[in-house]
Chains A and B, each alone.
Chain A
Amino acid sequence: MASPLALSLPAPLRHFFSLFPLYTHPPIDSPDKAHPVTSPTLWISPPFSPDADVLSSDVECLKWQAYLALRGISDVAVRWDVAVDGALDNRLPNLHVPLRTLPGASPEVRQQDDGEGELLPAHLIPEWVDGQVGALDSLEGYANEAARDESRAWVSLLEGNVHAALVLSQPSSPSLWHFLSPYHNKPRPLDAVVAHPPAPLFGISSLLPSYGTHLDVDAIEQQYKDAISSLSERLGTDKWFLGSSLVRSPTALDALVFAYLHSILHSKEHTLRFEVTRRVNLVAWERRVQSQVRGAFRTLEVVRQS
């Protein structure tokens, strides 16, 4: 309800203003305006080889690519020409979907689809997928409750120990470019990833302001090796992780495992890669899932041409 004290224009003035502009030209169009979105489009970081691939080189983006593909969504366009500054909260991936595909879209919204679409941050992607292919049950696709609970442990192992080793293998040294850049996008700090937060470089009584963190690289490497070996043992010859004979469909955990295995196999660090390449079941599994994930995506140019 409007406050009685709120300023409002006197009626004659409002009437006077409503007469203007006396004449209206049509809106001015621009070639710089974004193309209307016709099919779901995932905004990702660029692939390792942008000419030949559609799988992102960034593990966070790849997780969601795998998630979409393994949930059965296909024909998703990908684009990597949008800088990370253009993403919601400066974090890729984002899913750009036409309004008509939104789960709660009313018939009017479906009618007035102007091509602007809706941009979803990563954490809203599962909800959108649920709207497309139907929601999962309380077991989230796992065989039973025990498997669901076990999956939590695997997720924390991958996002903790394996992620830490992967981040360490891609050191980001502060470059001149970084120094010049007006706005910085800080990646997730490493101390938020490793299981035991490392101590700061300086003691609490130090006169110097605390900066940097002290990381035990050997410990992270050892934890990584343990994680990969247990991952390999747990998979065995199963089709999917934690899969029993009853359940044949992939889960969110499979998407996560695939994203990490794919990133590790493309890593420049030999020791990191070697841990995976020496385990045949992991390599074969990654290759199989890779073709399935890749099949679900097309580049935006291909989609626009078709």
Chain B
Amino acid sequence: MAELEAQAPPLQPPLHTTAAPREREPDPADIERYRKWWEERKLRKLRVLQTPDEKGATLESVLRKTKTIKSLLEETDIFNNVEAIIDRSRDFLAHPEDVDVVFLTREKGRYFLNTSTQVGNNEGGASATARVRNAFGGAETFEANVAFATKTRMSFNASLSAPLSSDLKTRGEIALFGLERDNSSFASSYEGIRGLRAVLRRGALSGGAHEIGYEAVLRHIGNLSPSASISIREAAGQSIKSSLYHSWTRDTRDDKILGTCGSYTKLFQEFAGLGGDASFYKTEAHGQFARTLFAGLTVSFAARTGLLWNLGGRSYFSDRFQLGGPVSVRMFRMNGMGPHDGVDSLGGSLYWSTGVSLISDVPRKPHWPVKTHLFLNAGRLDNIDKSASISKPSISAGVGLVYKLDPIRVEVNFGVPLVASKSDGVRKGFQVGIGVDFL
């Protein structure tokens, strides 16, 4: 066998290159394998789209199908613009009347990094967001976010969401989140949260969006002020909540911040007690509707209520409701209503609040984003075992200016509390509110 071994030709200068043009090309079998893989991959990528219906297609059905596919492609949030061209089919085997539907798309950047500063819900802060679109080729989105602010000291959130149904209307999401909240203004403490969440979402806001999820959260009340009350000291420490929740939201308002028509409804319910310390059933309902009375004058009515039914031994501070403040019942301190121990608001298990606002244009300046408003708010935060007292509301009234500073609303109000409980923290005179959801 030794004589069969290839022998290098004797080297004789000058040397010439002997490489043939095809020498470095891959094996045809490899090319075939690669082509197959690529086609499979392309199919996999398109598995969310419906396969075209080929039999008995008319121009109308083709146009319809094209529109469906186009809107689906747009829904994936992967492409910047999607254009469809209907062309005579170029396939050799095609019938003369066959058409090709060609989609011209431009993919959005896969990687997105953003830092920003923002103001909202009476706090200001800075955040950094990183997003990967179409992370695994199936319209999945991975997003990581870190933010630092005044009230919510630190928050982070990392989530992976993916479409679960072929119409892309149902999305699943897994998220890790954490935040640290400064509650020292009303409860002499900080609250740290670390959690894991798995969510299923379906539907659009205009027709009613469902969200069902599971949450496992570690809550930690700590960093108490030296003057913290004994009740808050007793509430300090860690607790674990493991809960299932469902929420339904429907929003038909023409504007989320200063709507002139339409309504907003949100129903929320949560059951905790699948392991962990906290065991309760919690339900909340928010509603708002706005109507234009005549040009330049809108009336907005809002109501919220919530109930926390404790199933276990003790209720936890983190689960209880808080009420009051510029985005809640105005002319009361932020989370300053309901049961107190000294200066600390302990929260309650039952609340309702309602508000009516008359919003009008500034005279002769209807195009200004500043509107005037007149409000009347009422609400009560209490505990379930004394349901008779829930009908003793705290009431406030006042006037103010509303400034629509997209995407938030800023209010400067002057008002007074008309009726209050002795334990409520009241605010007379001016109050500034920055937020999204107002009563």
Contact = CB atoms under 8 A, between A and B. Distances in A.
Interface in B386-430: 386, 389, 392, 394, 416-423, 426, 428-429
Contacts of B422: 24-27
B69 interface: no
Contacts of B140: none
B428 A34 contact: no
Interface string A30-42: 1111100100000
Contacts of B386: 29
Given A33-B231, A34-B229, A181 B238 contact: yes
Interface in A12-48: 13, 17, 20-34, 37
A119 B188 CA distance: 15
Interface stretch (A81-89, A137-145, A258-266, A284-292): A81-89
Contacts of A72: none
B342 A116 contact: yes
B417 to A, nearest CB: 5
Contact of A85 (B220, B394, B420): B220
A229 to B, nearest CB: 41
Interface string B306-348: 0000000011010010000000000000000011111000111
A84 B235 CA distance: 11
Interface string A174-201: 0000001111000000000000000000
Contact of B428 (A20, A27, A85, A86): A20
Interface in B223-263: 223-224, 226, 228-238
**Is chain A's interface secondary structure helix, strand, loop, or mixed overall?**
loop
A96 interface: yes
Contacts of B320: 32
Contacts of B230: 34, 37, 96, 116-117, 119
A20 B236 CA distance: 35
A88 B226 CA distance: 7
Nearest to B316: A32
Contacts of A181: 192, 194, 218, 220, 238
Contact of B418 (A23, A96, A119): A23
Contacts of A82: 233-234, 236-237
Range, interface on chain B: 35 or more
A181 B228 CA distance: 21
Interface residues of A, number: 36
B341 A33 contact: yes
A32 B346 contact: yes
Nearest to B418: A22
Interface string A216-238: 00000000000000000000000
A86 B421 contact: no
Contacts of A83: 236-238
B231 to A, nearest CB: 4
B348 A86 contact: no
Interface in B192-225: 192-194, 218, 220-224
Given A20-B417, A20-B428, A86 B178 contact: no
Contact of A17 (B178, B338, B429): B429
B382 A28 contact: yes
Contact of B220 (A25, A96, A183): A183
B300 interface: no
Nearest to A36: B230
Instruction: Give the 5 A-B residue pairs with the shortest CB-CB distance, closest first.
Output: A182-B192, A83-B237, A30-B339, A86-B236, A86-B233
19 contacts: A13-B429, A20-B416, A20-B418, A24-B421, A25-B422, A28-B339, A30-B346, A30-B383, A31-B383, A32-B235, A33-B346, A34-B230, A83-B237, A83-B238, A85-B236, A86-B228, A90-B222, A180-B194, A183-B222
Given A20-B418, A30-B338, 12 more contacts: A13-B429, A20-B428, A27-B421, A32-B235, A32-B314, A32-B317, A32-B320, A85-B224, A86-B224, A182-B220, A183-B190, A183-B220
Interface of B: 178, 180, 190, 192-194, 218, 220-224, 226, 228-238, 314-315, 317, 320, 338-342, 346-348, 381-383, 385-386, 389, 392, 394, 416-423, 426, 428-429
